[in-house]
């Protein structure tokens, strides 16, 4: 039996992840494998730590990736700090807030939540009031909710947590590298990023960072594995029960990401090459310019969508700049439209979860996918497919609106 070589079709990916990987990242991934203790490799590991600190805007010592998709980063942080019975408070404004609950619950947390309507964010003061009531050990919150296209302001919540000596954990999976995430300024104790969204690296790693407040909790649970522990290790064992996950045990991962290089898992070599190159691109572009670029393409997309006469689902101050949710016109075959975009144009946009399923499409403008030709193409494909399915839209305007936006921006730039 022979199997044909797999050649993926060419796509324009405009979903909230995974997005198109930067070609430079794909090239880096085809580099030869190095041993995980080879100094050529470990010095690259140190560079990844150093550059991740810049991307997270933190002075934290700990900044390294967890091998696994973004939720592995969420799980590593949560399982390393939660002990059974610990109170964890989670403000939920979409599907990924629910995910934090799911993970924390499995590690035995006593869960407290506050929910708001999907499509909205919380007034930070409401969250703070509830935190004062509950007095949790940990507050875990999502920054950019890709399920609803909203972004929660975090600084006031972070500050309140710090004042009350509560650990503040943030899912910044969708926002890192696309819009501001200021770990230190916002008093975030642990933040988790994603690769396949605004960093334009394939899915499979979760960069995290955390401070001494988290490290203290982790070290109290430290245990070095049988077979590699020395007699000194057995003397310095933490006084708290060990972390219940072996793979996600941050105390062990710290030893691996420190000069001791104590063996844990085998580092995902090619993924680390990818992350190294991905972050290099982010820092080369500059965070501020990168955020500006994401905003520009978001504007162009929004202008185009609105010119068609379609409504944007979340259009308030706290819209997530890297995801634009479009309301599906009444009576339209939503899956038909999306399939036509994919099959005829090779353009992918996302449907949605839970209560929003069938109500909105979600269009991402993230990382390498966030560029002019992609925005123009997704608008073309959307308009044509909607027209094909008989939607009552204003035809021929979207492209002109986006082109006008881009050319006037370009003229403004030329004039300086
Ligand atoms: C995509 C996403 C995740 C999950 O990431 P995986 O890489 O699929 O594990 C978590 N949180 C948010 C906010 C996301 O957008």
- Which amino acids are annotated as binding site for substrate, given as ranges? 362
Fold for the domain defined by 286-415: 3.90.1150
What is the average per-residue pLDDT within 363-374? 98
CA 250–ligand 1 middle distance (angstroms): 20
Q: Report CA 280 to chain centroid distance, whole Å.
A: 18
pLDDT at 235: 81
CA-206 nearest atom, ligand 1 = 7
Domain ranges of the chain: 22-282, 286-415
pLDDT at 414 over 90: no
Q: For residue 147, give the ligand 1 atom closest to its CA.
A: 15
Q: pLDDT grade, residue 413 (50/70/90)? A: confident
From the alpha carbon of 72, which atom of ligand 1 is closest? 9
pLDDT of amino acid 409: 87
Q: Given the CA of residue 142, which atom of ligand 1 is nearest to it? A: 13
Task: Grade residue 411 by pLDDT with cuts at 50, 70 and 90.
Answer: confident
> Whole-structure pTM over 0.85, yes or no?
yes
The answer to whether domain 22-282 and domain 286-415 are alike in fold is no
| CB-facing half-sphere around the CA of 394: CA atoms within 13 A | 14
Ligand 1 pocket test: pick from 67, 90, 174 the residue with the most ligand atoms within 8 Å of its Cβ: 174
> 22-282: which CATH topology?
3.40.640
Reported as a single tens digit per residue, the pLDDT across 226-255 is 988 998 888 878 889 999 999 999 999 999
Which residue from 18, 65, 67, 70 has its CB within 8 A of the most atoms of ligand 1, so it is best to mutate?
70
d(CA 173, CA 367): 13
Cα–ligand 1 centroid distance for 225 (angstroms) = 30
At residue 248, the pLDDT reads: 98
Beta bridge partners, 347, equal 12
Whole-angstrom distance, CA of residue 97 vs CA of residue 93: 6
What digits encode the pLDDT tens for the residues 290-307? 999 999 999 999 999 999
Cα–Cα distance, 163 to 338 (Å, whole number) = 48
Helix (H, G, I), strand (E, B) or coil at 286: coil
Q: CA-CA distances (angstroms) from residue 2 to 5, 7, 8, 9?
A: 9, 15, 18, 20
Q: Please report the pLDDT score of residue 105 as a whole number.
A: 98
According to the model, what pLDDT value does residue 364 have?
98
Distance between Cα 365 and ligand 1 center (Å): 15
**What is the rounded distance in angstroms from the CA atom of residue 197 to the CA atom of residue 281?**
14
CA of 346 to the centre of ligand 1 (A): 24
Which residues surround ligand 1 with Cβ inside 6 Å? 16-17, 69-71, 96, 142, 144, 146, 171, 173-174, 194, 203
Atom number in ligand 1 closest to CA 203: 7
**393 Cβ contact partners less than 8 Å away, ≥ 6 residues apart:** 308, 309, 310, 329, 383, 386, 387
Residue bearing the CA closest to ligand 1, atom 12: 173
Task: Report CA(71)–ligand 1 centroid distance (Å).
Answer: 6
How far does the centroid of ligand 1 lie from the alpha carbon of residue 194, in Å? 7
* Max CA separation in the chain (angstroms): 75
Ligand 1, pocket-test mutation among 73, 92, 96, most atoms within 8 A of CB: 96
Residue 70 CA to ligand 1 center (angstroms) comes to 5
Q: Give the position, in ligand 1's atom list, of the atom nearest the Cα of 17.
A: 1
Per-residue model confidence (pLDDT) at position 234: 82
- Average pLDDT estimate for 57-69: 98
Q: Residue 264 above 80 pLDDT?
A: yes
pLDDT digits (tens, 9 = 90+) for 32-43: 999 999 999 999
**Of 160, 186, 161, whose CA–CA distance to 172 is shortest?**
186
Two structure tokens written together for 395: 């035809």
Report the separation in Å between the CA atom of 41 and the middle of ligand 1, taken as the mean of its atom positions. 28
What pLDDT, on a 0 to 100 scale, did the predictor assign at position 236? 77
């Amino acid at each position: 039996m022979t199997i044909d070589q797999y050649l993926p079709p060419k796509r324009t990916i405009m979903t909230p992840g995974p997005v198109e990987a930067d070609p430079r990242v794909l090239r880096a991934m085809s580099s030869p494998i190095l041993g995980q203790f080879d100094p050529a490799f470990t010095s690259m590991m140190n560079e990844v730590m150093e550059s991740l600190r810049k991307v997270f805007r933190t002075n934290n010592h700990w900044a390294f990736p967890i091998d696994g998709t973004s939720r592995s980063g969420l799980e590593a942080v949560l399982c390393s700090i939660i002990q059974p019975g610990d109170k964890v408070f989670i403000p939920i404004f979409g599907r990924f807030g629910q995910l934090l609950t799911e993970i924390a619950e499995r590690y035995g947390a006593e869960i407290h939540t506050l929910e708001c309507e999907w499509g909205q964010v919380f007034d930070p003061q409401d969250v703070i009031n509830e935190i004062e009531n509950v007095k949790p050990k940990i507050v875990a919150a999502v920054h950019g909710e890709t399920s609803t296209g909203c972004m929660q302001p975090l600084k006031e919540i972070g500050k309140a947590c710090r004042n009350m000596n509560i650990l503040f954990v943030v899912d910044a999976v969708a926002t890192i590298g696309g819009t501001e995430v200021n770990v230190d300024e916002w008093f975030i104790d642990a933040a988790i990023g994603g690769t396949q969204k605004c960093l334009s690296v394939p899915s499979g790693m979760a960069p995290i960072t955390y401070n001494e407040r988290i490290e203290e909790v982790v070290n109290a649970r430290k245990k070095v594995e049988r077979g590699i522990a020395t007699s000194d290790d057995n003397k310095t064992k933490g006084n708290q029960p060990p972390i219940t996950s072996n793979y996600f045990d941050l105390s062990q991962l710290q030893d691996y990401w420190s000069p001791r290089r104590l063996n844990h898992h085998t580092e995902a070599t090619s993924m680390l090459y990818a992350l190294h190159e991905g972050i290099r691109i982010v820092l080369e572009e500059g965070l501020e310019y990168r955020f500006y670029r994401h905003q520009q393409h978001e504007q162009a997309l929004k202008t185009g969508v609105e010119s068609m006469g379609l409504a944007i689902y979340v259009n308030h101050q706290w819209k997530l700049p890297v995801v634009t949710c479009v309301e599906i016109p009444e009576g339209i075959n939503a899956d038909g439209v999306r399939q036509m975009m994919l099959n005829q144009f090779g353009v992918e946009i996302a449907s949605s979860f839970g209560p929003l399923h069938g109500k909105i499409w979600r269009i991402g403008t993230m990382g390498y996918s966030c560029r002019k030709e992609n925005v123009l193409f997704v608008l073309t494909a959307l308009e044509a497919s909607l027209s094909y399915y008989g939607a009552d839209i204003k035809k021929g305007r979207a492209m002109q609106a986006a082109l006008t936006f881009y050319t006037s921006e370009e003229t403004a730039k030329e004039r300086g």
